[in-house]
Amino acid sequence: MSHTPSTKLSKDYFTSWRTQNLAYLQGQDAYGFMDGTNPPPQQTIPNANTAADVPATMLNLDFMQWVQKDQMILSVLISTLTEPFMVHAVGCATARALWDALISMFASQSRARIMQIHYQLATSKKGNSSIIEYFQKIKNLSDTLVAAGQPLNDFESVPFLLVGLGSDYDPFVTSVTTRVDPLTIDEINGHLLAHEMRIEHNMPIAEMQLPSANYFAHSSIPSGRGFFGRNSYSEGRPVYCGHTLAFPTCGHGSFFPNQVVP
């Protein structure tokens, strides 16, 4: 058994943990220890030596090898448990006993827990999170429902994903909800990533325009008492301040006709 799974078991990552461990066990030709297709051999076998002073049975070497591999698998599973779940390993003598205990625990989620997950899905908001983070949050909650035996299909999952998006995604939400051919949740995630990239691409342009406008309003056109004359706008001519010619301004970047500056 060359390596061990990296995903640690927690209440929100059971499906990820199970998926990785299934792949690992199957790759090690060890899943038969979990599903019962590789049961333990008999602990003893008849002794081929029939002498009177020799025991009638002897220890089965195949059983010893089976126990050795089973305990290795059990050790790997225990190493993937976080502290709150270590208690479930107590009293589990075989890998299958621990596997069944964990599967049973997560599959028998209470109705209150299922309702809580639905509430979390309905109230989840993207906020300042990235699309990847937000999508993973929704997926983790959906995976928890799968483990509880209450999976959501794409038609049920998509509204939960869309409802938490901000106003920047309103055009996208409208296009998805008005489609004749529905998209899968994975397809929607791909489109959301593209939409997020477009928003991020356009954001710096908008941010650069505002400082430029402020700079023009406050810096490029001189302001102050020395540049103003009385009723300058009504006269329709620039004011000479002794250093340069300047069009009268109120000092805030806006021109007001007939403005009298004291």
239-240 and 245-246 beta bridge pairing: antiparallel
- Shortest CA distance to 262 belongs to which of 231, 221, 219, 217? 231
What local confidence, expressed as pLDDT, does residue 204 receive? 61
For 164-202, write each residue's pLDDT tens digit.
998 888 988 998 888 888 888 889 989 999 988 888 887
For 205-239, write each residue's pLDDT tens digit.
545 455 544 544 444 444 444 433 444 444 444 44
**102/88 Cα distance (integer angstroms):** 7
Mapping DSSP to helix (H, G, I), strand (E, B) and coil, where does residue 243 land? Answer: coil
For 113-157, write each residue's pLDDT tens digit.
788 899 999 999 999 899 999 999 998 898 888 877 788 888 888
What local confidence, expressed as pLDDT, does residue 125 receive? 92
Mapping DSSP to helix (H, G, I), strand (E, B) and coil, where does residue 1 land? Answer: coil
For 81-111, write each residue's pLDDT tens digit.
988 888 888 889 999 999 999 888 877 656 7
Computed over every residue of the chain, the mean pLDDT equals 77
Q: How confident is the model at residue 244 (pLDDT cuts 50, 70, 90)?
A: very low
- Shortest CA distance to 103 belongs to which of 179, 19, 180? 19
What local confidence, expressed as pLDDT, does residue 253 receive? 43
Whether this model's pTM surpasses 0.85:
no
- Shortest CA distance to 179 belongs to which of 194, 191, 197? 191
DSSP annotation string for 124-189 = ---TTS-HHHHHHHHHHHHHHHHHTT----HHHHHHHHHHT--GGGHHHHHHHHT-SSPPPHHHHH
For 17-69, write each residue's pLDDT tens digit.
888 899 999 988 999 999 989 999 999 988 877 777 777 788 899 999 999 99
Q: How many CB atoms lie within 10 A of CB 102?
A: 22
Residue of 7 and 170 predicted with greater confidence: 170
